[in-house]
Amino acid sequence: MATPTSELTDRLAFHRSALNIVTAVTDADGELLQSLLSVTAGHTKIAFFVDQNLMATAYVKEAVDTTLADVAGVVFTDIHENPCEADVLAAAAFLKPLDADCVVAIGGGSTIDTAKMALLLAFGGGVPKDWWPVHRHDAVDAPPLFVYPSTAGTGSEVQSHALISDDTTHRKMAIGHERLAPTQAVLDVSLLASCPKRVMILAGIDALSHALESAVTRTATTASIAAATDAFAMLWPALLELASDAAQLSPTAFKQLHAGATLAGMAIEASMLGSAHGCGNPLTARYGVVHGQAVSIMLPGVVALNERDVRSAATYRAIEEQCGIEHTMLVETVKGLNQSLGLAVSLAELGITDAPIDTLASLAMEQWTCGHNPIPMTLDLCRALYKSVV
């Protein structure tokens, strides 16, 4: 059943309060220019970080150009998927001499994380590894950051973390600092509607995995479980519609994707992630598998593993009941959704044969997300998960 937009907004506000999320969440409602003029009002030096594909659209270009018409400002578009250390250092070098009093990011998780790290490094100094793996709490005097997510996936718009890849090993580094939390996240379905369907699928399944994983981690709380469960309930019908033959998603489905991904991001901020991400990340680092695809392959097996945990199993049953999924059939249903979305469900489908299981398992054990999984991870369990998707 479709969820009214007003109810989605109310639910986001409820969970934001319950989880003490510092980022304000608002809706641009298809009025990007008016929103940009509002959030940048009173600022005189504005730095924009914008996905170059979005900047090529009339909707975004006109809004950005008009916003900058009467103030000093610049636009940075040299943004790469899965940003690495070199990428964010270049972005910080761009931002630092500008003396900007306002930063705006328009794009997906890579754009938002690049802007976050540029802000942290330009105003806090150092290089990415200076801020990792310890979550530092020293003061960083930086201007406000306003973010406009264009994909319904990462949830970075409401998190105090940025995900950066090591230049050499390609290992994911989750860098955390309170100043990385955006001042305001503005949801605009007109941005999401510009996404190619494949991008929407990959981002959406990543968001669904965020909901399923953050709902059961060791650090999950009553509030984060409720948020993650609600996020799944928002995302599920939208992804089913995305998997259908419909030429275009309904307006309600767009809203559900955007709100669900943001809510899952809030749940992550409170309770982190688990082994689907821990085992998925090495596939991205070693083979270049797109993040959403890599995580989706591992997700059914990780859910099956976590059902051995009593609290996790109870949470999964609650999710099934809320979404009308047959009792105890969550694993098979999620796998079926992956197939319906056109995602590979095995490494062989991706052309990965004779995968070095022991190496992948060792890499997975190094991932911080595996440490939050409700079932304590071991090399043997990681090996079994990889073998299950060969």
pLDDT tens by residue, 28-85: 989 999 999 999 999 999 999 999 999 999 999 999 999 999 999 999 999 998 899 9
Whether the per-residue pLDDT at 2 is higher than 80: the answer is no
Burial 242-256 (b: 16+ CB within 10 A, else e): bbeeeeebeebbbbb
Q: What is the pLDDT of residues 335-344, one digit of tens each?
A: 999 999 999 9
Q: What is the pLDDT of residues 212-240, one digit of tens each?
A: 999 999 999 999 999 999 999 999 999 99
Q: How far apart are CA 12 and CA 79, in angstroms?
A: 29
CA distances from 331 to 176, 212, 217, 296 (A): 32, 11, 17, 12
Whether the per-residue pLDDT at 281 is higher than 50: the answer is yes
Question: 197-214 and 222-243 helices cross at what angle (nearest 10)?
Answer: 150
CA distances from 354 to 192, 317, 385 (A): 38, 36, 15
Q: Quote the pLDDT of residue 91.
A: 98
Q: Quote the pLDDT of residue 195.
A: 87
In terms of C-beta density within 10 A (0-12 exposed, 13-18 middle, 19 or more buried), how is residue 94 classed? middle
Burial 42-63 (b: 16+ CB within 10 A, else e): ebeebbbbbbebbbeeebbeeb
Q: How far apart are CA 247 and CA 249, in angstroms?
A: 7
Alpha helices in the chain (DSSP H): 5-19, 32-39, 52-55, 58-67, 85-95, 109-124, 189-192, 197-214, 222-243, 251-271, 275-287, 291-306, 310-323, 330-340, 357-365, 379-387
Whether the per-residue pLDDT at 23 is higher than 70: the answer is yes
Query: CB atoms < 10 A from the CB of 378, how many?
Result: 12
Which residue in 59, 16, 2, 5 sits closest to 263, CA to CA? 16
pLDDT band at 268 (very low <50, low <70, confident <90, very high): very high
Q: What is the pLDDT of residues 353-368, one digit of tens each?
A: 999 999 999 999 999 9
Pairing of strands 172-176, 102-107: unpaired
Q: What is the pLDDT of residues 122-164, one digit of tens each?
A: 999 999 999 998 888 899 999 999 999 999 989 999 999 999 9
Query: CB atoms < 10 A from the CB of 160, how many?
Result: 19
Q: Is residue 74 helix, strand or coil?
A: strand
Q: Quote the pLDDT of residue 246.
A: 79
Which residue in 73, 177, 96 sits closest to 130, CA to CA? 177
Q: What is the mean pLDDT of residues 4-27?
A: 91
Q: Which two tokens stand for residue 208?
A: 């669904």
pLDDT band at 1 (very low <50, low <70, confident <90, very high): very low
Lowest-confidence region among 205-214, 244-253, 350-359, 360-369: 244-253
Q: Quote the pLDDT of residue 96.
A: 96
Q: How far apart are CA 224 and CA 251, in angstroms?
A: 27
Q: What is the pLDDT of residues 84-109, one digit of tens each?
A: 999 999 999 999 999 999 999 999 99
pLDDT band at 316 (very low <50, low <70, confident <90, very high): very high
DSSP letter for each residue of 92-125:
HHHHGGG--SEEEEEESHHHHHHHHHHHHHHHH-
CA distances from 13 to 18, 112, 153, 227, 234 (A): 9, 21, 19, 11, 14
Burial 162-193 (b: 16+ CB within 10 A, else e): bbbbeeeebebbbbbbebbbbbbbbbbbbbbb
Evaluated on CA atoms 115, 118, 124, 129, the torsion sign reads positive
Task: Catalogue all structural domains in the chain, each as residue range(s) with its CATH number.
Answer: 31-187 (3.40.50.1970), 196-387 (1.20.1090.10)
Q: Quote the pLDDT of residue 4.
A: 56
Whether the per-residue pLDDT at 292 is higher than 90: the answer is yes
Average pLDDT, the chain: 95
The pTM of this model reads 0.95
Query: CB atoms < 10 A from the CB of 6, how many?
Result: 8
